[in-house]
Amino acid sequence: MKIAVIGGGAAGMMAALSAKRANPGAEVLLLEKNEKLGKKIFISGKGRGNLTNSADIGDFPQHFFRNPRFLYSAFSAFSNRDLWRLVEENGCPLKEERGGRVFPLSDHAFSITDALKRALKKAGVKLLYRTEAREIRLRNGAVSSVCCREGEISADRIIVATGGLSYPSTGSTGDGYRFAGETGHRLRECLPSLVPLLVEEGDCRFLQGLKLRNAGLSIRDEEGRSYYESFGEIDFLPDALSGPIILSASAELTELLHSEEAKRGLLLTAHIDLKPALTEKMLEGRLIRELENAGGGGLERVLSALLPLRFLPVFLRRLEKRGISRREKAGELSREKRREIETLLRDFCFTIRGTASFREAIITRGGVDTRDISPKSMESRRVRGLYFAGELLDIDASTGGYNMQAAFSTGFLAGRSAAEER
């Protein structure tokens, strides 16, 4: 038996390894168009490699926005504990961090790819680098070969694990969607997800690089309807908001932000609470104390005790638009102006104008319609011997290692299923 796996990312590497382990006598080829494996793994977790999450595997589906039930069999076949054991057995010790995120002890994502490459070589998988698949050929409703620039490779089973459209610089350029479409599979619209949210205001360019560690977030429309609420870290880019809670918000909102309703003028605003740990009464008391302590000092001195230094100039400019000068004497501030400051601390707003592009997206929303794929094997319901795994499927989750685990689990199940003799 000859099995060809297209794509050397998380799903592809696991599919090839699983297939070879399930059927040691099979010839398993892993086709990767780049010069090395796992390019997207290299940049996961900001280069540290967020491999998976330590949560109970039974809880994983609740973190997925699309088709969570489709993943039950894959997670059952290959869990986060199985992945942890595999990686550590091949020389990459792991550790658990906040929110159950799992990283290499080295804090370098390449430790993961090194471990997986060791496993692949040990199993006897044939690695074909700089080999770009261009077409999947069929015969009598079943796969027959993969056409590459270098020539045609015959195969009894073909596993497509080419990734989505996110981070196209890593090689994820949508090839898998083309293969799926050409072989008769339905596709769901692809959108960037876990991606920064672009904003109208120019304040972000002055805040670039700043991280608000503990901020409240509420995204609402002009009528006050809430679309997302959370608490956590917000990062500032030159023209966008990012950080864990913003990325999770984008996963909830990407379809709406790319919809006809958005094009017709739907206006969403990110409302940031800069002091979410304080009740209204506590915030009022804290501000009064700071004003009293400042005495004849300026307002800038008062606010420097309440805000990060980088945030202060932007906050003061917003106050000036509300008629409050930074040169106001703390001891002379009226009750009305103090209320304005409290309001701005509680509700610092940015107007959302859309999402960033696939170049900045961590994952792709949409892809190969799961109705065309058997969840128990990852085999196509339309073409015999053709399997799909990883991000190109219409599955996506929140941040925290869940998407990576889905890639490994679907890859494992696809590889094991493809290796079965019939």
3-state secondary structure the chain: CEEEEECCCHHHHHHHHHHHHHCCCCEEEEECCCCCCCHHHHHHHHHCCCCEECCCHHHHHHHECCCHHHHHHHHHHCCHHHHHHHHHHCCCCEEECHHHEEEECCCCCHHHHHHHHHHHHHHCCEEECCCCEEEEEEECCEEEEEEECCEEEECCEEEECCCCCCCHHHCCCCHHHHHHHHCCCCEEEEEEECCCEEECCCCHHHHCCCEEEEEEEEEEECCCCEEEEEEEEEEEECCEEECHHHHHHHHHHHHHHCCHHHHCCCCEEEEEECCCCCCHHHHHHHHHHHHHHHCCCEHHHHHHCCCCHHHHHHHHHHHHHCCCCCCCEHHHCCHHHHHHHHHHHHCEEEEEEEECCCCCCCEEEEEECHHHECCCCCEECCCECEEECHHHECCCECCCCHHHHHHHHHHHHHHHHHCCCC
Architecture of the domain whose range is 2-193+366-418: 3-Layer(bba) Sandwich (3.50)
Domain boundaries, the chain: 2-193+366-418, 196-356
- Can you give the pTM of this predicted structure? 0.90
Q: What is the pLDDT along the chain (422 residues), one digit of tens a residue?
A: 999 999 999 999 999 999 999 999 999 999 999 999 998 898 888 899 999 999 999 999 999 999 999 999 999 999 999 999 999 999 999 999 999 999 999 999 999 999 999 999 999 999 999 999 999 999 999 999 999 988 999 999 999 999 999 878 777 788 999 999 999 999 999 999 999 999 999 999 999 999 999 999 999 999 999 999 999 999 999 999 999 999 999 999 999 999 988 878 889 999 999 999 999 999 999 998 888 887 767 788 889 889 999 999 999 999 999 999 888 887 788 889 999 999 999 999 999 999 999 999 999 999 999 999 999 999 999 999 999 999 999 999 999 999 999 999 999 999 999 999 77
